[in-house]
Structure 1
Amino acid sequence: MTLWLTRILPSASSPEAHRDLSGNAQGLRLHQRLLQMFPDGVEGPARVAFGVLFRAEETPRGPQILLQSQVKPDPSRLPDTYGSIETRSLESLLSSLCKGTVVHYRCVANPVRKPGATSREAYKLPPIVALSGNAAVEWWERQATAAGLEPLHIDAQPLAKVSGYKPSKNRTAKQLVQHSRTQFDGTARVLDADLLREKIAAGIGRGKAHGCGMLTVAPVQQRS
């Protein structure tokens, strides 16, 4: 399976790009926009069919959108003035990963826990509780370990919430949900390269359809 990484630098003059990146509906708008780059008429959720994960982030040059997919996207299906678009294969990067490799990582994720029925009743908790602070860091440590990584350094930065629709069999009764987000950056040592490749392809945690869960890594360059 080949994974593709597409980097989009939105144009400051594009009203479509500005609207997609604005407010807490960003995740929902980008989900709809990015899926336009893939073929129509697939069975089931298109995001799953094409292995789509994405996130929007700020860089010194301004905002960028990163899109990962199992099918090479077609940039001609975006508005002409949306921005500059570059796609490359991740095959070389993924094949270079091996046990002991130290990597930089980034993941914008939706750290949550699901209290048991007894705890929910005793403390009047919702079915899903968003995590922050040390609880979010501990969540990430568990997720990183489950992804074949040994975290060496963790920097956790809370981000604004994004909105999306909860999947429902009844398409006329969609339920709007909000995803709390934390950006996790740092370094880690690869413990299981095959497992890491699987998690990179699958994503981590909830809210993947709305800009959460995309894990990117890059080997740390060793100084000579």
Structure 2
Amino acid sequence: MYLTRFRLNTARAGSRHLLASPQRMHAAVMSSFADVLPGDPHAPRVLWRIDRNSRAEALLFIVSEQRPDLTHLVEQAGWPTTAAWQTYEYTSFLDGLAKGGIWDFRLTANPVHHVRRSTDEIRKRTAHRTPRHQMGWLLDRQERAGFRVLETPAERRRLAQGDEHQLTVRDEQRHRFGKTDTGTGLANRVPLVTVTFDGRLEITDPELLRRTLTLGLGKAKAYGCGLMTLAAASGGTR
């Protein structure tokens, strides 16, 4: 497994073109693998995520089985003569994860649930709209994903509700794009709501967490969702 990091040059039109569309970014990411043909249903799993740290800093992260070649992205949306990308061997890091380890994490996800307004209506997938419900979506999945989000000590909680965990949600993005139904051939407009979670976790099941880090968490993985990354726990409490 490989973890790749690439900084996009947000001053370039090509970069802004990609950042405006999860579909275009997905196509650019998949073009980084010489053996993957466009639209191949058997293509290996590739996770990616955009971190928008500021107006001038947007980072692309990729987790993949194959080592990617991002030359086309450097030429279109980077600094062709002065900077490239960094790819790291990821397997040894994954193998070193141990139960009880404390890590800071980041995850961009598509928190959804299924609702129906009446008993005879088909259940429809709907995005969670509030930070409280978006956090609840992640907390409901933490055990099956191999970790638990740490609780905030009572003396450090600032709110009566919603501040119980070392977890924040930010950078909500809303997209709507065309997609053709493979069964009917009909085109429709697909809404996509994504949010980014930052928090601190404890590993409860290393094997399950390895699956989460390499296979992703939640829906819309082709559109930049599901990729969780870990970093050494920083000092203090979030």
Give the TM bin, normalised by the shorter chain: 0.7 to 0.9
Q: 1:167: how far off?
A: 6.4
Q: Describe the superposition over 1:125-151 as per-residue Cα deviations: whole angstroms up to 9, x where unpaired.
A: 860121122221111101222111011
* RMSD over equivalenced CA pairs, Å: 2.7
Among residues 38, 43, 47, which one is paired with 1:53 in the alignment? 47
Runs of 5+ in structure 1 lacking a partner? none
Residue of structure 2 equivalent to 1:10: 8
In the superposition, the TM-score normalised over structure 1's length comes to 0.83
Corresponding residue for residue 184 of structure 1: 197
Q: Which residue of 1 aligns with 2:118?
A: 121
Name the residue aligned to 2:212. Answer: 199
Q: Is the aligned partner of 1:174 residue 2:187?
A: yes
Question: Could you tell me the percent identity over the aligned residues?
Answer: 24
Tell me the residue number matched to 1:35.
30
Alignment correspondent of 2:97: 97
Counterpart CA distance in 2 for 1:12 and 1:171 is 38
1:78 Cα offset (Å):
3.5
Richer in helix (by share): 1
Residue-pair matches, total: 213
For residues 199 and 165 of structure 1, do their structure 2 counterparts lie closer, same or farther at Cα, with a shift above 3 Å needed? farther
Structure 2: which amino acid aligns with 1:64?
L
CA contact (8 A) 2:180 2:186 kept: no
How far 1:76 moved relative to its partner?
2.7
**CA distance 1:195–1:73, change in 2 (3 Å):** same
TM-score (norm 2): 0.79
Q: Contact 1:57–1:65 (CA<8 Å) still a contact in 2?
A: yes
Unaligned runs of 5+ residues in structure 2 are: 79-83, 151-165
Of 136, 145, 148, the residue aligned with 2:146 is 148
